[in-house]
Amino acid sequence: MQTVRYFFTPVSPWTYLGHDRFVAMARRHGAKVLLRPCDLGRVFPVSGGVPLAKRAPQRQAYRLHELARWRDHVGVPLNIHPKHFPVPADLAAKTIVAADLVAGTDAALAFAGALMRACWAEERDVSDAATIAAIVAAQGLDAAALAAKADEAARLFDAYTDEAIERQVFGAPFYVVGDEPFWGQDRLEFVERALARG
């Protein structure tokens, strides 16, 4: 069985654009997905990354063209100027980790997808505890059980960020199949080839 480490942040539009395709692909190939929500605020400074607001104007402008192109290409609803972006992702990411601990990877992947849709298609604030709680409920997750795992989830979130730095992750989404790295949802074709090799 192939193992894929899936490094991401739930407020990344690129992660959102690739999420459902990646999940379907992993299932198709019987791959084991290891969820690794991580803190890009810690990853960027050690990897040469620059937060969106600090990028050159021409890079910011081109990003909008690419988002629109990929949105239309893959047929995923996405507002390129969402009402609630950028927002801190830590609470949402830690709740994904808690969902993984409590309900398993499939449920956590579905929850992560719902958070991304909330941000990028539904104009909801995924840094807001009440919004996250509503999505937890809509996904049929046990809020009390998730809350009981909050401390462990916070520790794992930090550990996953350390792992991201150790594995030379520098952006999101970032997939590691075995030990082979792939950056970006536009590399999913190559991820699939790696999974097909078994």
- C-alpha–C-alpha distance, residues 100 and 65, integer Å: 34
Q: DSSP characters for 136-160?
A: HHHTT--HHHHHHTHHHHHHHHHHH
Q: What are phi and psi of 7, to 5 degrees?
A: -90, 130
CATH architecture of 3-197: 3-Layer(aba) Sandwich (3.40)
How many Cβ atoms sit within 10 Å of the Cβ of residue 89? 24
Q: What token pair was written down for 166?
A: 């150790």
The model's pTM: 0.96
pLDDT, tens digit, for every residue of 91-122?
A: 999 999 999 999 999 999 999 999 999 999 99
Range 167-191 average pLDDT: 97
pLDDT, tens digit, for every residue of 61-76?
A: 999 999 999 999 999 9
Distances 41 to 38, 90, 127, 170 between C-alpha atoms, Å: 9, 10, 15, 10
Has residue 168 got a pLDDT over 90?
A: yes
- Contacts for 131 with CB less than 8 Å, ≥ 6 apart: 118, 124, 125
The ranges assigned to domains in the chain are 3-197
